């Protein structure tokens, strides 16, 4: 039998004499009791202070015990309710059990019986709470494990991207630099941390679809033919397809992978999205990606000077690039002599915590 110590209990009965009997009994067992003369009064008291145990008569004026029980179950489902009934009301008592009361006592009651029922009800309540707690923890742990497995898969893909880039001196360090530029632009724009994290994630994996592009084409020294260019430009779609199962909860990061070659004027790849159709997260990464590509040597051209690349960004405002993100880039890197940045160290990828503002692509007004 549990020691209730100072467990709080509310006794509800319109007959003060019966209330007193119950209160005396319970206080004798160490409970701290409060009393209400009606269902309405009981609800008012519960609104001010919740209690683990309510013992309520069934027949009362205004709101009867059944009405009170319904309200308690709806509002405070963790409260244990015992109803007190007349022998003739056993059917009502059974209905109360079906509604969620933990037990009932029939009048005239024996004090030992009430004592035993109260202890049983508190035991049931404790077990129910422990079970809920266990379920909740289990669900959380399963979710954490599932997320960790997804992160491990992402880390493998990240390693693959870097391996692919390392093989090619022209693209070495590209993704990690793009992630670095993108993160700093996003911070400069004052975007929430959750959005910054999505941008970092999407930026680092943006070119993952190049896994599906022929290496011969990818590393071709010289200008690409039209079909070769079209083949290379399939990489955003391939990348989105690879990552879709792992990024169900981060559609904005997936949008970065699919749409990082879109342009504001609608002349980009692969969907020809224009202006507002391109999520803000994508617009940020597009600038970082373009700047890093321009300032890197390519098989078919030397690297552009930083000055020239910055000029390209300026000139591409509102046709290719989102002007506020270009401004943020310039503000984040005010010293052009410090550009291009050196390649940062690779950090393990993390999926951002789930929340409404990380699980959708932002509209441009965000
Ligand atoms: Fe790309």
Who's near 144: CB < 8 A, 6+ residues apart?
A: none
Q: Would you call the peptide bond into 288 cis, given omega within 30 degrees of 0 as the criterion?
A: no
Helix axes of 174-188 and 280-294: crossing angle, nearest 10 degrees: 130
Q: What are the tens digits of pLDDT across the range 287-300? A: 999 999 999 988 77
Please state the pTM of the whole predicted model. 0.67
CA–centroid distance, 261 to ligand 1, in Å, is 6
Say how many Å lie between the CA of residue 97 and the centre of ligand 1.
63
Cβ-proximal residues to 286 (8 Å cutoff; 6+ apart), any chain: 260, 261, 262, 263, 278, 320, 321, 322, 325
As a whole number of Å, the CA-based R_g of the chain is 33
> pLDDT tens digits for 244-253?
988 888 999 9
Express each pLDDT in 181-240 by its tens digit.
999 999 999 999 999 999 999 999 999 999 899 988 888 888 889 999 999 999 999 999
Task: Return the SS3 of 239.
Answer: helix
CA-to-CA distance for 108 and 61, rounded, in angstroms? Answer: 20
What pLDDT score was predicted for residue 86?
81
And the tokens for 241? 């397809």
Distance 189 CA to ligand 1 centre (A): 23
The alpha carbon of 2 and the centre of ligand 1 are apart by a number of angstroms equal to 65
Rounded to the nearest 5 degrees, what angle is found at the Cα of 144, between the Cα atoms of 154 and 240?
30
Greater pLDDT, 169 or 363: 169
For ligand 1, a single-atom ion, the residues with CB < 5 A are 207
Q: What percent of the chain has pLDDT over 70?
A: 95
Confidence of residue 108 (pLDDT cuts 50, 70, 90): confident
User: Is 316's pLDDT higher than 50?
Assistant: yes
Distance 260 CA to ligand 1 centre (A): 6
Q: Is the pLDDT of residue 112 over 70?
A: yes
Residue 126 backbone phi and psi in degrees, to 5: -60, -45
Separation of CA 91 and ligand 1 centre (Å): 71
Question: To the nearest whole number, what is the mean pLDDT of the chain?
Answer: 89
């Amino acid at each position: 039998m549990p020691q209730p110590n100072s467990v709080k209990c509310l006794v509800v009965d319109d007959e003060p004499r019966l209330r007193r009997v119950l209160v005396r009994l319970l206080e004798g067992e160490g409970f701290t009791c409060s009393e209400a003369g009606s269902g309405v009064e009981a609800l008012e008291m519960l609104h001010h202070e919740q209690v683990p145990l309510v013992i309520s008569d069934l027949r009362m004026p205004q709101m009867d015990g059944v009405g009170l029980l319904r309200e308690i179950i709806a509002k405070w489902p963790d409260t244990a309710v015992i109803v007190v009934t007349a022998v003739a009301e056993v059917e009502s008592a059974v209905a109360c059990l079906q509604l969620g009361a933990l037990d009932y006592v029939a009048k005239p009651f024996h004090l030992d019986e009430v004592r035993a029922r109260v202890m049983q009800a508190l035991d049931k309540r404790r077990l129910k709470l422990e079970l809920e707690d266990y379920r909740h923890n289990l669900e959380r742990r399963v979710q954490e494990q599932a997320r960790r497995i997804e992160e491990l898969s992402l880390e493998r893909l990240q390693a693959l991207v870097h391996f692919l880039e390392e093989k090619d001196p022209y693209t070495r360090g590209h993704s990690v630099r793009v992630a670095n530029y993108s993160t700093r632009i996003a911070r400069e724009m004052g975007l929430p941390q959750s959005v910054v994290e999505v941008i970092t994630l999407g930026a680092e994996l943006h070119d993952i679809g190049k896994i599906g592009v022929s290496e011969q084409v990818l590393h071709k020294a010289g200008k690409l033919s039209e079909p070769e260019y079209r083949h290379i430009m399939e990489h955003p779609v391939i990348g989105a397809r690879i990552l879709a199962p792992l990024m169900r909860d981060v559609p904005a990061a997936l949008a970065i992978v699919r749409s990082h070659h879109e342009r504001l004027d609608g002349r980009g790849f692969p969907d020809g999205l224009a202006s507002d159709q391109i999520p803000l997260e994508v617009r940020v990464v597009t600038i970082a990606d373009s700047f890093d590509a321009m300032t890197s040597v390519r098989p078919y051209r030397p690297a552009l000077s930083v000055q020239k690349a910055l000029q390209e960004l300026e000139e591409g405002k509102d046709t290719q690039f989102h002007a506020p993100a270009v401004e943020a880039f310039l503000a984040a890197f005010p010293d052009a002599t410090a550009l291009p940045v050196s390649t940062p160290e690779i950090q393990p990828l993390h999926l951002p915590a789930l929340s409404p503002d990380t699980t959708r692509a932002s509209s441009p007004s965000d």
